[in-house]
Amino acid sequence: MNQKIDTLVANMEKVIIGKRPVIVKLIVALLAKGHVLIEDVPGVGKTQLVAALSKSVNGQYNRVQFTPDVMPSDIMGFTMINPATKEMEYRSGSAFCNFFLADEINRASPKAQSSLLEIMEELQISVDGMTRPLPLPFMTLATQNPVETYGTYHLPEAQMDRFIMKLSVGYPEPAEEKFILDKKGISAGDLSAVLQLSDIAALQAQTDAVRTNDLVTEYIIALVTATRTTDLLTLGASPRGSIALYKAAKAYALINARDYVIPDDVKALAADVLAHRLILSPKGKSTFGTSEAIVGDIVARVVIPG
Q: What is the pTM of this model?
A: 0.93
CA–CA distance, 18 with 23 (Å, rounded to integer) = 10
pLDDT digit string (tens) for 158-179?
899 999 999 999 999 999 888 8
Long-range contacts of the stretch 195-198 (C-beta < 8 A, 24+): 195/4, 195/7, 195/8, 195/56, 195/57, 195/58, 196/57, 196/58, 197/57, 197/58, 197/59, 197/98, 197/137
CATH of the domain spanning 3-200 = 3.40.50.300
Strands 139-144 and 77-81: unpaired
Sketch the domain layout of the chain as residue ranges.
3-200, 210-301
CATH code, residues 210-301: 1.10.8.80
pLDDT at position 148: 73
For the cut 90, the answer to whether the pLDDT of residue 95 exceeds it is: yes
pLDDT of residue 107: 92
Per-residue pLDDT at 149 = 72
Q: What is the mean pLDDT of residues 251-279?
A: 96
Contact at 8 Å (CB) between 23 and 49? yes
Stretch 143-162: mean pLDDT, rounded? Answer: 86
